[in-house]
């Protein structure tokens, strides 16, 4: 039996997909790389935004009817009604199914229709399950599932549930195992890494300290942190980031520069809280890379509120701003705020303005790196033949050209040119 596992969306979903593929391979299924060569297709879906859900539905509808289709991941729990109405499928299951995928594929291959939607909402897949991943350098390590938030716009909580954290020793064990197999870059990921451990008397800073006690040469990228949870452990967190093996990179979503909008969004912080976290990290690490997220057109966002968001971006000058248009998601509180909705044309205008500003600031920030020399860890094959992409200590992507194979190596680089989304290095000798 030949199975294709295809993942979409966030880094956690790709980690989940690697485990699905690994468990199926261990069970004797042949993993293939195309729909045409597969008997069973597992789509590990994302549905965090309306356009993403639309894409998942369209991809699912294009699967030939003679194939067995299993729709996994977040979509089945976020909008199962639409999935049933528009897609012909043999199985549906939630995210992070782990070893459960084997039974579902087995039953589906025998002609059953299997619906297993909420089986994983209160569970944690084992961290030592087999994985099949394409990147030979980077390991994505989920440290918790679910979160403690109740954001008015977010539907992911319906798919990922409430906070469940792994034990520190289990995470350290997973990293040690991956290091032994040659992996060198670790993405510590979850829906909110800053809430890690609040369900079991630990925290993110404690976890980072434990990881840094491993006596090996590796790098850690810390995933998205909500400002309020980061603020709770700010001093400890900044101290933990002092280890040279932790990339000087933070992803701190602000979502709006207006406190009233943040309150309506049910974000448990104000603009000044966000700025306090940024200032604390920059005071210790002036070259830290800051990524943030902004939603344009949330219900009730006035022109003045939007202008405050632009002012905040201009003031804080993030390296990366992920700009999203607001789309009401099923079963969320924001979906009931229709009387305060912002016209779509206005949402598009605001999104364009925010994206233009973000691109200008990204280029400005990157230009400061021209002339910098230092080491990078090469973790990607470039899009152009003979090119590679590495990351410097601030997780800046650095493109280099070299005839030799560089993947997985620490190499010297000198930045000669800057673009909004990456840096270019001279040829490495």
pLDDT digits (tens, 9 = 90+) for 199-218: 999 999 999 999 999 999 99
Give the closest residue to 114 by CA, choosing from 84, 70, 64, 74. 70
Identical fold between 2-116 and 373-425: no
pLDDT confidence tier of residue 78, bands split at 50, 70 and 90: very high
Q: Which residues contact 245 (CB under 8 A, 6 or more apart)?
A: 212, 217, 218, 219, 220
Average model confidence (pLDDT) across the chain:
95
Please compute the mean of the pLDDT values over residues 338-366 and round it to a whole number: 96
Sequence-ordered strand ranges (E) for 105-246? 114-116, 138-142, 144-145, 164-165, 185-189, 219-222
Please compute the mean of the pLDDT values over residues 87-94 and round it to a whole number: 96
The predicted structure's pLDDT at residue 393: 97
240-265 residue pLDDT tens: 999 999 999 999 999 999 999 999 99
Query: Is 425's pLDDT higher than 90?
Result: yes
35 is written with which tokens? 């729909």
Please compute the mean of the pLDDT values over residues 299-320 and round it to a whole number: 98
Residue 361's φ and ψ, nearest 5 degrees, are -70, -35
Query: Is 119's pLDDT higher than 80?
Result: no
The predicted structure's pLDDT at residue 118: 81
The predicted structure's pLDDT at residue 125: 85
Query: Is 164's pLDDT higher than 70?
Result: yes
Query: Is 120's pLDDT higher than 80?
Result: no
CATH superfamily of 2-116: Methylthiotransferase, N-terminal domain (3.40.50.12160)
The predicted structure's pLDDT at residue 429: 63
Fold of 373-425: OB fold (Dihydrolipoamide Acetyltransferase, E2P) (2.40.50)
Per-domain residue ranges of the chain:
2-116, 138-366, 373-425
Q: pTM for the complete prediction? A: 0.94
Give the closest residue to 5 by CA, choosing from 23, 32, 29. 32
Please compute the mean of the pLDDT values over residues 317-324 and round it to a whole number: 98
pLDDT confidence tier of residue 339, bands split at 50, 70 and 90: confident
Instruction: Answer yes or no: CATH 3.80.30.20 is held by domain 138-366.
Output: yes
Specify the DSSP element, H or E, that contains 388.
strand 387-391
The predicted structure's pLDDT at residue 121: 76
The C-alpha atoms of residue 54 and residue 73 are separated, in whole angstroms, by 15
């Amino acid at each position: 039996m030949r199975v294709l596992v295809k993942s979409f969306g966030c880094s956690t979903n790709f980690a989940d997909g690697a485990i699905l593929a690994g468990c199926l391979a261990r069970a004797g299924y042949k993993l293939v790389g195309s729909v045409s060569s597969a008997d069973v297709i597992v789509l590990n879906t994302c549905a965090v935004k309306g356009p993403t859900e639309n894409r998942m539905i369209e991809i699912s509808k294009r699967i030939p009817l003679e194939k067995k289709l299993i729709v996994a991941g977040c979509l089945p729990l976020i909008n199962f009604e639409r999935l049933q109405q528009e897609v012909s499928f043999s199985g549906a299951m939630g995210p992070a199914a782990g070893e459960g995928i084997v039974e579902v594929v087995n039953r589906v291959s025998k002609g059953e229709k299997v619906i297993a939607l909420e089986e994983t909402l209160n569970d944690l897949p084992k961290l030592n399950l087999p994985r099949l991943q394409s990147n030979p350098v980077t390991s994505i390590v989920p440290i918790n599932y679910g979160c403690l938030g109740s954001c008015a716009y977010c539907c992911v909580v319906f798919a990922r549930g409430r906070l469940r954290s792994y034990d520190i020793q289990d995470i350290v064990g997973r990293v040690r195992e991956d290091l032994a197999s040659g992996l060198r870059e670790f993405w510590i990921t979850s829906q909110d890494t800053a809430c890690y451990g609040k369900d079991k008397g630990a925290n993110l800073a404690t976890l980072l300290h434990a990881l840094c006690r491993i006596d090996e040469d590796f790098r850690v990228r810390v995933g998205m942190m909500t400002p309020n949870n980061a603020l709770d452990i700010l001093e400890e967190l900044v101290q933990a980031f002092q280890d040279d093996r932790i990339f000087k990179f933070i992803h701190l979503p602000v979502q709006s520069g207006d406190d009233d909008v943040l309150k309506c969004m049910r974000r448990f912080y104000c603009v000044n809280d966000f700025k306090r976290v940024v200032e604390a990290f920059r005071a210790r690490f002036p070259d830290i890379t800051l990524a943030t997220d902004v939603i344009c057109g949330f219900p009730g966002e006035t022109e003045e509120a939007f202008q405050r968001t632009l002012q905040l971006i201009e003031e804080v000058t993030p390296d990366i701003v992920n700009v999203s248009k607001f789309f009401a998601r099923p079963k969320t509180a924001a979906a009931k705020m229709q009387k305060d909705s912002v016209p779509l044309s206005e949402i598009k205008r605001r999104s364009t303005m925010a994206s233009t500003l973000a691109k200008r600031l990204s280029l400005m920030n990157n230009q400061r790196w021209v002339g910098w020399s230092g080491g990078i860890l090469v973790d990607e094959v470039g899009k152009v033949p003979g090119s590679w992409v590495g990351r410097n200590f601030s997780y800046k992507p650095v493109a280099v050209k070299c005839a030799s194979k560089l993947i997985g190596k620490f190499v010297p680089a000198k930045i000669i040119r800057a673009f909004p989304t990456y840096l270019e290095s001279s040829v490495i000798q």
